[in-house]
Chain A
Amino acid sequence: MGRIVGGVGSSHAPSFGPVYDKGQQKEPMWAPLFDGYVPVRAWLEALRPDLFIVVYNDHANQFFFNAYPTLALGAADVYPQADEGWGKRDLPDMRGDAAFSWHLARSLVEDEFDPTICQEMAVDHGVMSFMPMLTDTRWPVPIVPLAVNVIQHPVPTARRLYKLGAALRHAIESYPQDIRVVVMGTGGLSHQLQGTRFGFVNQDWDNEFLDRLESDPEPLTALSHHDWMERGGTEGIEMINWLPMRSALGPKVKRVARTYHAPMITGYGLLALEPA
């Protein structure tokens, strides 16, 4: 059977792309964040994972509002990079594991989660911005992308996504092959990209979120969308993408690493956990 060997929560941002591509990770503005990824990458390599399941959100790149899926599961062996409106980065297409994806699709539907199943799917910075800091860009570990609508309300509740984590675990543990899986959740942390609170960052809330997600996550599911956005900004609703990762790991976890840095208009977080 499959086994969850680790969990990673990470922010994603278009700005990570140029920083990485131009080798600016050591610049004072970015080092406090990017330095945090170095030990996490080493830890991930030591875990020898066979698969990354990535719960993320698309930013109107693969999907548009003509048919915006609430939950969309990649079921391909290759995931090209989306052009978000300013050209693509010089990175190879990401690798997938369609066989596992179809197993996951069957298991999720049996557990009453009904994703849109995508045999062609481009991934945007929601996946590709932080991934080069966590693994080699030849992409040795295949991914299974799971996109959550957090950009056009109504979006799923925090509780729903927390339950999704348990369904992911069930799917992984019912896979016939002995594979080692790392579950990732990405988005946020606090930020707001428009309106009177443009540039809003709430460092207290971001750190409280990281504390609670690690030690006592379940009560976070009682927060309403209004609560999340009041505390973390309208675009900070992405933080709920971290919940499936956390619940997939089970009640007790051991922290491997945690980083927080808010140099601009977004609180950036990184959290690496192992099931205890």
Chain B
Amino acid sequence: MLEEVAGTKVFNGERSREGYRLNRMAMSLTEAANRAAFVADETGYARRMGLDDTEIDLVRRRDWKAMIDAGGSIYLLIKIAGALGVPLYEVGAQTAGMTLEQFMAKRKGR
């Protein structure tokens, strides 16, 4: 099974299995009513969607890197970020171990 490319874990079956509940919750946010319910009560919504305490905490802390490590697919995580008003660049930069400002400064210097 393809596991890693240039230091990045590949989203494969093992990771999909591990992150299933997190990704499923994210998928539910493709409906406007669910987005509203999630934003109104993140923890309650996540619990109703079957997330465990550790996963709920990752979402609460906006720890995108840890969500990736827990099997989150970037295509699903950006739905959580979207509902919470967090831009893609901020999510991506954090998964690379940077703040958005650091990432933008690095890009500028490229």
Chain A complexes with chain B:
yes
Contact of B27 among A64, A86, A265 (CB under 8 A): A64
Assess whether B103 is in contact with A194, with CB atoms less than 8 Å apart: no
Residues of B within 8 A of A196 (CB): 7-8, 96-97
Assess whether A235 is in contact with B74, with CB atoms less than 8 Å apart: yes
* A61 close to B (CB within 8 Å): yes
Chain B's closest residue to A15 (CB) is B88
Residues of B within 8 A of A234 (CB): 5, 8, 10-11
* A26 close to B (CB within 8 Å): no
B52-110 residues with Cβ-Cβ distance < 8 A to A are 64, 68, 73-79, 82-83, 88-89, 91-93, 95-98, 103, 107
Assess whether A194 is in contact with B29, with CB atoms less than 8 Å apart: no
Assess whether A193 is in contact with B92, with CB atoms less than 8 Å apart: yes
Q: Mark A79-120, 1 if CB is under 8 A from B, else 0.
A: 000111111000000000000000000000000000000000
* B50 close to A (CB within 8 Å): no
Residues of A within 8 A of B83 (CB): 85
Assess whether A225 is in contact with B7, with CB atoms less than 8 Å apart: no
Chain B's closest residue to A59 (CB) is B75
* B32 close to A (CB within 8 Å): yes
Residues of A within 8 A of B64 (CB): 194
Residues of B within 8 A of A85 (CB): 26, 29-30, 35, 78-79, 82-83
Q: Mark A250-273, 1 if CB is under 8 A from B, else 0.
A: 000000000000000100000000
Chain B's closest residue to A235 (CB) is B74
Assess whether A195 is in contact with B7, with CB atoms less than 8 Å apart: yes
Give the docked Cα–Cα distance between A83 and B88 (Å).
17
Assess whether A151 is in contact with B30, with CB atoms less than 8 Å apart: no
Residues of B within 8 A of A195 (CB): 7-9, 68, 95-96
Query: Taking chain A's interface residues, is the majority helix, strand, or loop, or is none over half, making it mixed?
Result: loop
* A275 close to B (CB within 8 Å): no
Assess whether A65 is in contact with B10, with CB atoms less than 8 Å apart: no
Residues of B within 8 A of A152 (CB): 11-13, 16, 73
Give the docked Cα–Cα distance between A66 and B26 (Å).
13
Residues of B within 8 A of A49 (CB): none
Residues of A within 8 A of B23 (CB): 60, 64-65
Residues of A within 8 A of B77 (CB): 194
Assess whether B75 is in contact with A151, with CB atoms less than 8 Å apart: yes
Give the docked Cα–Cα distance between A61 and B10 (Å).
20
A226 and B5 contact, Cβ closer than 8 Å, known pairs A60-B76, A196-B96: yes
Chain A's closest residue to B17 (CB) is A65
Smallest CB separation, B102 vs chain A (Å): 11
Assess whether B79 is in contact with A194, with CB atoms less than 8 Å apart: no
Contact of A194 among B20, B31, B35, B95 (CB under 8 A): B95
Smallest CB separation, B106 vs chain A (Å): 8
Give the docked Cα–Cα distance between A182 and B83 (Å).
37
Rank and list the top 10 A-B pairs by shortest CB-CB distance, nearest first: A195-B8, A85-B79, A198-B96, A198-B92, A153-B12, A194-B95, A229-B5, A194-B74, A85-B82, A86-B82
Would you list 25 pairs from A and B whose C-beta atoms are within 8 A, ordered by A residue? Answer: A60-B73, A60-B75, A60-B79, A65-B23, A65-B24, A83-B31, A85-B26, A152-B16, A153-B2, A153-B11, A153-B13, A192-B8, A193-B88, A194-B64, A197-B96, A198-B103, A199-B92, A199-B96, A225-B2, A230-B6, A234-B8, A234-B10, A265-B89, A265-B92, A265-B107
Residues of A in contact with B (beta carbons under 8 Å apart)? 59-61, 64-66, 82-87, 151-154, 192-199, 225-226, 229-230, 234-235, 265
Residues of B in contact with A (beta carbons under 8 Å apart)? 1-2, 5-13, 16, 20, 23-24, 26-27, 29-32, 35, 64, 68, 73-79, 82-83, 88-89, 91-93, 95-98, 103, 107
